[in-house]
Amino acid sequence: MKYLLVLAVVWLAIWLWRKNRREEMHDAQQERARKAQQRTPAVGPPQAMVRCAHCGLHLPAADAIAGPDGAVYCSPAHRQAGATP
C-alpha cells in the first residue's frame, strides 16, 4: 500500500512539472511570435519602376527626376548630361 502511495505522489509531481513546463513553453512561443511580428516591417504595395535614360539604372518612379524631353533620370547630374547633346 505504501508503494502505491509513493507511486501516486511521484506521478502527481511529474504531472504537475510537465503541466507547468507546457505552459511555460506555450508562453515563450507566444512571446517569440509577438516579437517576430514587431520586428517585421510592414511591406507597402509594389511601386512602378523606371529606367534612367542616361545610365540605365532602375529606380522607383517616385524617386525619378523628369527631364525636359519626357525621359526620366536618376539624379540631377544625369539629367544635365542627358539634356546636353
pLDDT of 85 over the 70 cut: no
How many domains are contained in the chain? 2
Q: Determine the pLDDT at residue 68.
A: 83
- Same domain as 56, residue 34: no
| pTM tops 0.85 | no
Looking at the structure, do residues 19 and 54 belong to the same domain, yes or no? no
Chain segment 46-65, per-residue pLDDT in tens: 999 999 999 999 999 999 99
Q: Cell numbers of 68, please?
A: 525636359
Cell for 70?
519626357
Question: What is the span of the domain harbouring residue 69?
Answer: 49-83
Q: Do 5 and 39 sit in the same domain of this protein?
A: yes
Q: Are 47 and 63 in contact (CB under 8 A)?
A: no
Tell me, yes or no, whether 39 and 57 share the same domain.
no
Q: Are 73 and 54 in contact (CB under 8 A)?
A: yes
Q: Which residue has the higher pLDDT, 56 or 38?
A: 56
39 and 72 in a single domain? The answer is no
Q: Are residues 29 and 56 in the same domain?
A: no
